[in-house]
Amino acid sequence: MLPNRAFTIHPSKDTIHSIVILEREFYMTFLSMTIYAIVSSFTPGPNNIMSLYYSKQTGLRGTIKFCIGVALGFFLLLLVSNFFSNTLYHVFPKVQLYMKIFGAIYLLYLAYKIGTSKGTDAQSFSSRYNNIKFGMLLQFINPKGVIYALSVVAAFITPNFEHFSVQIILITYLALIGFLSSFSWSVFGSIFKKFINEHELAFNIIMALLLVYTAISILFT
């Protein structure tokens, strides 16, 4: 009988080198995706502007449902983009103009409602749109958000990560960044709520003008 021996498999230097390169590529891709997501999510846009406006009306706690809606809507948008990235990239240019026009008109409508609201009108507007449903819907009618979802999936997720479980984790991570961006603007609004209420008209006009600027930038970009 042959004596029992413990066999230990030692990976080759080439294997170790390949693993180190893969780990480095993963961290670089993850870091680049995170920077892109933060810059895209935390800068002024419909989600953040509406979060800031709602926090002035209902306080920080009152905007949580809207922020959750933003995260859920963005999660679904990313999930759809991940499943149909190739198809959507071919279809989107054909409907992009119509989406831009519809999204811009809707943002102009929101700008009008915010710019002309005061007192009970503002409370009524907030109670109607400050919810999970509207937060989710807003992600699908904002062409800039759709473009961002398609680009972040096509550039960072689909080509670099084949396993669906990893893709879901990254999509959830991006949705969390979307929630934090909206919530941070809500925090800002709640901190300066007293000052904002003292200058309500000026604040509403500024918020309306930011939405108008966003609508115009959607049409001409």
Amino acid at 35: I
Quick one: three-class SS letters along 122-153? HHHHHHHHCCHHHHHHHHHCCHHHHHHHHHHH
84 secondary structure, DSSP code:
S
Q: What is the CA radius of gyration of the chain?
A: 22
What does the block give as tokens for 127?
Answer: 């109670």
pLDDT at site 135 = 93
Residues 78, 175: Cα–Cα separation, whole Å: 8
Q: What average pLDDT does the structure give for the chain?
A: 82
What does the block give as tokens for 41?
Answer: 């999510």
Please give the model's pTM, rounded to 2 decimal places.
Answer: 0.78
Q: How large is the average pLDDT for residues 107-127?
A: 76
Nearest in space to 148 (alpha carbons), one of 62, 198, 77, 99: 77
State whether the Cα torsion 177-87-215-116 is positive or negative.
Answer: negative
Helix and strand numbers, DSSP H then E, in the chain: 10, 0
pLDDT at 158 over 80: yes
If one compares 164 and 8, the residue with the highest pLDDT of the two is 164
pLDDT at 6 over 70: no
If one compares 129 and 70, the residue with the highest pLDDT of the two is 70
pLDDT at 141 over 90: no
What does the block give as tokens for 142?
Answer: 């904002």
Confidence of residue 142 (pLDDT cuts 50, 70, 90): confident
The residue whose two tokens read 């119509």 is 98
Half-sphere exposure of 161 (CA within 13 A, CB side): 22
- The answer to whether 214 and 49 have CB atoms below 8 angstroms apart is yes
